[in-house]
Structure 1
């Protein structure tokens, strides 16, 4: 193969003779260069696509990790709320246990029972054979186990108190527990038991007690002897005192300015238990007086009118 090179500036020319190997090399260069460029471009495109896929995978993993982190935070918040609820329940059980223990000790002393017959300062005595394969390590039950233990102790205390109440009744303490008279020293009835127009809304409503109006700060009296079972603020009642008189009778005294007794106290008939006030849902100084018999509200009028045992 002969190649002629012409020089335009000087008008001359030169010729070269290419052999077989030279022609083959030239052909290879002419064909290989485009193919190589195509191959390099293809490989570069594949690398960019792979890099893009890797970036998308990393982004997807980051999003999944972020979602898992949010889910974990939500689970932690839920667990914290449940723990707070369990702690609150345990605190309520402890307070209830304290009131029951105080009540039991007062009743035991009042009934002059033999020492050790009812001991409210110790946990209940229990026992039984090991339950075979159902062997549980109760030392690791945690807060739930504590609550279950308190529930069992409360049940035991309630049973003992029921027996004590029966013993006190059998020892003829009914005269002191005879519910009668007015819960005030001076004053007048400002609202009776039954249907009336609500003093706040003006709409018909049922009034579950009798209101005795009087001078703020004057004494509120127990209408019968008994054991104080509730002292504190209750919705609608304001500062309230509740007394159990046995035989299913309970009296309540609401809207007090100040309560003078504590849960577990044994009070006598006519003893001051609070000072008249206007706490809670009230329009002025008075005592909201209620009587419950076996858990149901009854008209206190019949108890207010009687003044001696019949």
Structure 2
């Protein structure tokens, strides 16, 4: 059998000779190829969905799995953020405790007159030792937070203990501050003691209720203890007088001043200048008349003066 192909554009013809034996050989293969092509087309059409070439059941299952995984990932991230926030809060609380402890420790060091170089709360304590391998399983976040909770409780207990100790030390310091001790002047000498003496104006034996300290005119006069000024004015015999109430029944008086540096109601500290030495009132020369009153009665200040000298 011959097949003739004619090309009008090129003006040519082709002749194809078909051998019946070859046609019979290739015919089954051609039929099989056409059948496979048709089957593939049919399968593709049967698998076609509204969203693509995958079955709706497969697409739905995949979407559900993806949604579940996204939800699990979001939950895991939220849990991690929550744990991180909890850990940050614990650390912030511990830092606040440590700051308060450092402040309390610094105050205790100052109150107790401890060398700052011995207890420097601005620096970590010196520690050391040989390096060893860590043992045990790695710590998980729950263990870390539990340890932080226990440490926070411990720091809270230590802080309360240090507060109590600070109060005790402050009370002891205040007791020392308000109890009269030392001289009312830095320089000078005693010209008249407490008790019986000959009056410099009458020559008769009289009782002197204080101690006289002589020095140059204008020498600073200082409080021998902390307290509140109850009087700062001219008084008969005393001249310009300062009186201070120290609590616990103690009061001190400083007479014959040339100038007063405080007024009633002022709070003064131990060693603070309260007046300038003079010779006002019943006086023969520049000096300060120093009296100590305990529970309403004058007492000999000598034992309190000797406490600081």
Bin the TM-score by the shorter chain: 0.3 to 0.5
Give the TM-score normalised by structure 1. 0.44
**TM-score of the two chains, using structure 2 as the length reference:** 0.44
The higher radius of gyration belongs to 2
Structure number with greater CO (CA < 8 Å, separation at least 6) is: 1
